């Protein structure tokens, strides 16, 4: 068991390192110009530059991603719970949400800027709007797919609505909630960056547009890497909590 | 074990249940009548769609009925519908996220029974169903037969007077099923519970039941209520006896075979 874990992690880390090595070799031996593709070292070296405020911009982007994401988790799960309590609410609101979800969220960006002005808030809202729906959809499905006979079993004991929810419905739905949260985590990152592209004065997405003008490709690479790392941290957190909370057998792969 | 006539624990009279779907009606049960004495193991046998499960759900108070009378409890054996029913289904339906012991304790938690006592009881019941040492396993670590035994322990944790079983061994392989039948007889003897056991296995019904209620499909109706007098304790030898064959043949005929 332990050997298997070491093997799996070892291979995963090796694959990541191999990609960096290939990147280095291609850039160095094929003589790719730095404005097309900088080397890994040149990319990391941009962190030393004082004029880019890496920490500040990273914090801005991270707060948009995390803020929008956790808002989406909270709102998505709460609405799904409401649906599980009232089928009328679900029948009325779900089709509306499906229609709203068809709106390309990116297209709302300019509107959000009009409504909420530039800054962290509209970008947080874009991250929220794009990651909210898969979380809601998966959670709602989790509540729907509770074994009906399990509900009968506790009903034969005259369990209260609250007991049924806490002991049966919520734990049954949890694997689905995490499944939705994993999809949502990826989308939240994309949402926040798109928001920054559309209009903002801070953040890694904004920084990318700035350095694009000066053809500082290494800084663009670094920005992409930092955005990815924020996503990896978020995703890792979700998976970590999932492992703590959900028995292996019940996880949705 | 009191006789049925004096003081039945369960009395079903003229029970009728109709399912409605739009304008169409499906007769699930028409005019079922039978009585069960406290401590009996009654098998409800019949083909799929004959209303066995519906009847069980009506007894559990999970479903309404259209006319007739269902009465559970008697002067000697009181009955509280909220805590005197234990249920076992075809699927074990253990909660994946709980260990076996916590699964067994679920009904006790819902009923708010004292934790320490029900934990002790759960240990005792798991020993009775042959699952000592598996208390801390998760359901996925158990075989199908073991999961079903845990489900039986769960149905007994709150010491209910009536156990309702809906094809509890239907999903198990034939050999495991035979074994579980013997164990069920054992558990029944030890616990003294009244058990209603739904099955479509005629041999299973005759082997287990002190009484077999035969239901037929299309139209759904109750065909007969047969008292099974076979030597006790019932062992596998019973299955090769002449009486066993006679009972089985009679039920086959009621169900329209030859």
pLDDT in tens, B151-196: 999 999 999 999 999 999 988 888 888 888 998 998 899 888 999 9
Arithmetic mean of pLDDT, B208-229: 86
Question: Is residue B175 located within the same domain as residue B80?
Answer: yes
**Judgement on whether residues B141 and B182 belong to the same structural domain of the protein:** no
User: Confidence band (pLDDT; 50, 70, 90) for B149?
Assistant: very high
CATH number at residue A73: 1.10.3720.10
| pLDDT computed for residue A237 by the predictor | 96
Is the pLDDT reported for residue A32 higher than 90?
Answer: no
Please, which pLDDT band fits residue A113 given cuts at 50, 70 and 90?
Answer: confident
Residues B74 and B171 in one domain: yes
A151-178 mean pLDDT: 93
Using the beta-carbon criterion (under 8 Å), do B97 and A153 form an inter-chain contact?
no
Q: Are A235 and A153 in contact (CB under 8 A)?
A: no
pLDDT at position B131 over 70: yes
ipTM above 0.90, yes or no: no
B75 lies in the same domain as B129: no
Residue A11 within any structural domain of the chain: no
A80, part of any domain? yes
Determine, yes or no, domain membership for B49: yes
- Under the banding of pLDDT at 50, 70 and 90, the label for residue B258 is low
Mean of pLDDT values over B23-29: 85
Residues 6+ apart with CB under 8 A from A114: none
Instruction: Give the domain extent around B140.
Output: 94-159
Res A250: pLDDT: 67
pLDDT at A159 exceeding the cut of 70: yes
Average pLDDT over chain B, rounded to an integer: 89
pLDDT at site B1: 47
Q: What is the mean pLDDT of residues A83-102?
A: 90
- Where is pLDDT greater, at B237 or B102? B102
Instruction: Assess whether pLDDT exceeds 80 at residue A53.
Output: yes
- What is d(CA A46, CA A184) in angstroms, rounded to the nearest whole number? 31
B89 in a domain, yes or no? no
> How many other C-beta atoms are found inside a 10 Å radius of the C-beta of residue B160?
23
Cα–Cα dist A227/A190, whole Å: 9
pLDDT at B5: 58
**Model confidence at A238: pLDDT above 90:** yes
The pLDDT assigned to A87 comes to 87
Over range A85-97, report the average pLDDT: 91
Residues B22-26 have a mean pLDDT of 85
Per the structure, the count of domains in chain A is 1
Same structural domain for residues B221 and B174? yes
pLDDT digits (tens, 9 = 90+) for A115-125: 888 888 999 99
d(CA B126, CA B111): 20
Residue B13 maps to a domain: yes
pLDDT of residue B2: 46
| Least CB–CB distance from A157: residue in B82, B97, B138 | B82
CA distance A92 to chain B (A): 22
Last residue of a domain, one of B126, B159, B192: B159
Give the 3-state secondary structure of residue B212. strand
Nearest CB to A249: which of B82, B85, B96? B96
| pLDDT value at B72 more than 90 | yes
The percentage of residues in chain B with a pLDDT greater than 90, rounded to a whole number, is: 58
Question: Which of B106, B138, B168 to mutate to test binding with chain A, by most A CBs within 10 Å of its CB?
Answer: B106
- In A, residues 160-189, which contact B (CB 8 Å cutoff)? 163, 167-168, 171, 174
Q: In terms of pLDDT, which residue wins out, A92 or B27?
A: A92
Q: Are both B73 and B177 inside the same structural domain? A: yes
Kindly report the nearest CA distance between residue A168 and chain B, in angstroms.
8
Predicted confidence (pLDDT) per residue in A173-223, tens digit: 999 999 999 999 999 999 999 999 988 889 999 999 999 898 889 999 999
Size of interface A-B (CB pairs under 8 A): 56
Percent of chain B residues past pLDDT 70, beyond the cut: 97
How many domains is chain B built from? 2
What is the rounded distance in angstroms from the CA atom of residue A226 to the CA atom of residue A43?
11
For residue B102, the model assigns a pLDDT of 95
In a domain, A150, yes or no: yes
Q: Pick from A156, A168, A247: which is nearest to B60 by CB?
A: A156
């Amino acid at each position: 068991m332990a050997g298997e874990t070491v093997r799996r992690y070892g291979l995963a880390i090796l694959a990541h390192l191999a990609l960096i090595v290939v990147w280095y070799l291609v850039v160095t031996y094929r003589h790719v110009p730095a404005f097309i593709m900088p080397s890994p070292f040149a990319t990391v070296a941009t962190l030393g530059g004082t004029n880019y405020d890496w920490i500040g911009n990273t914090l801005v982007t991270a707060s948009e991603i995390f803020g929008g994401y956790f808002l989406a988790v909270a709102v998505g799960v709460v609405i799904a719970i409401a649906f599980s309590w009232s089928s009328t609410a679900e029948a009325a609101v779900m089709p509306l949400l499906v229609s709203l979800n068809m709106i390309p969220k990116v297209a709302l960006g300019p509107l959000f800027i009009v409504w909420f002005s530039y800054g962290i808030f509209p970008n947080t809202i874009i991250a929220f709007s794009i990651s909210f729906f898969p979380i809601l959809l998966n959670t709602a499905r989790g509540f729907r797919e509770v074994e009906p006979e399990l509900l009968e079993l506790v009903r034969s004991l005259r369990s209260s609505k609250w007991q049924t929810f806490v002991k049966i419905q919520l734990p049954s739905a949890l694997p689905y909630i995490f499944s939705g949260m994993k999809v949502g985590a990826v989308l939240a990152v994309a949402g926040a960056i798109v928001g920054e592209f559309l209009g903002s004065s801070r953040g890694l997405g904004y920084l990318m547009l700035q350095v694009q003008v000066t053809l500082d490709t290494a800084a663009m690479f670094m920005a992409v890497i930092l955005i990815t790392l924020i996503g990896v941290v978020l995703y890792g957190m979700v998976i970590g909590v999932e492992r703590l909370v959900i028995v292996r057998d019940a996880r949705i792969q | 074990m009191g006789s049925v006539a004096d003081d039945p624990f369960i009395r079903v009279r003229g029970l009728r249940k109709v399912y409605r779907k739009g304008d169409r009606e499906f007769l699930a049960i028409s005019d079922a009548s039978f009585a069960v004495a406290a401590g009996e193991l009654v098998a409800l046998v019949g083909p799929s769609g004959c209303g066995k499960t519906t009847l069980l759900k009506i007894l559990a108070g999970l479903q309404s009925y259209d006319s007739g009378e269902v009465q559970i409890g008697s002067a000697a054996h009181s009955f509280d519908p909220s805590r005197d029913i234990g249920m076992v289904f075809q699927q074990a339906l253990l909660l994946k996220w709980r260990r076996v012991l916590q699964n067994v304790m679920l009904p006790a938690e819902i009923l708010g029974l004292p934790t320490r006592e029900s934990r002790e009881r759960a240990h005792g019941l798991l020993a009775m169903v042959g699952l000592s040492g598996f208390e801390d396993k998760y359901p996925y670590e158990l075989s199908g037969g073991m999961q079903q035994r845990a489900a039986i322990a769960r149905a007994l944790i709150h010491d209910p007077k009536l156990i309702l079983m809906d094809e509890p061994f239907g999903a198990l392989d034939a050999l495991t099923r035979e074994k579980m039948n013997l164990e069920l007889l054992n558990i029944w003897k030890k616990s003294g519970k009244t058990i209603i056991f739904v099955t479509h296995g005629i041999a299973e019904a005759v082997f287990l039941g002190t009484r077999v209620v035969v239901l037929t499909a299309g139209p759904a109706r109750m065909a007969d209520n047969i008292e099974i007098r076979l030597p006790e304790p019932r062992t596998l030898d019973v299955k090769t006896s002449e009486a066993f064959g006679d009972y089985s043949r009679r039920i086959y005929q009621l169900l329209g075979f030859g």
